[in-house]
Amino acid sequence: MLIKILGSGCAKCNRLEQLTREVVAELGVAAEFEHVRAMDDIMAYPVMTTPALVIDEQVRCSGRIPSREEIAAWLRA
């Protein structure tokens, strides 16, 4: 599983990455993380605001920090 955090590295982006890593660890899911900071790379995805969470190239959330439960549900899907 490839998980990407889209964002410049602001506090919200970092919090999203931390929260997602925690949920991945809790579920025992094998995942690789990538923090996409380059604006050109972020613009390749259909997101208008960051932070955004992309799981296996599918945008799951943008513009907010989702709940632990939401992240867990996306990871199980």
Catalytically annotated residues = 10, 13
| Cβ(64)–Cβ(7) below 8 Å | no
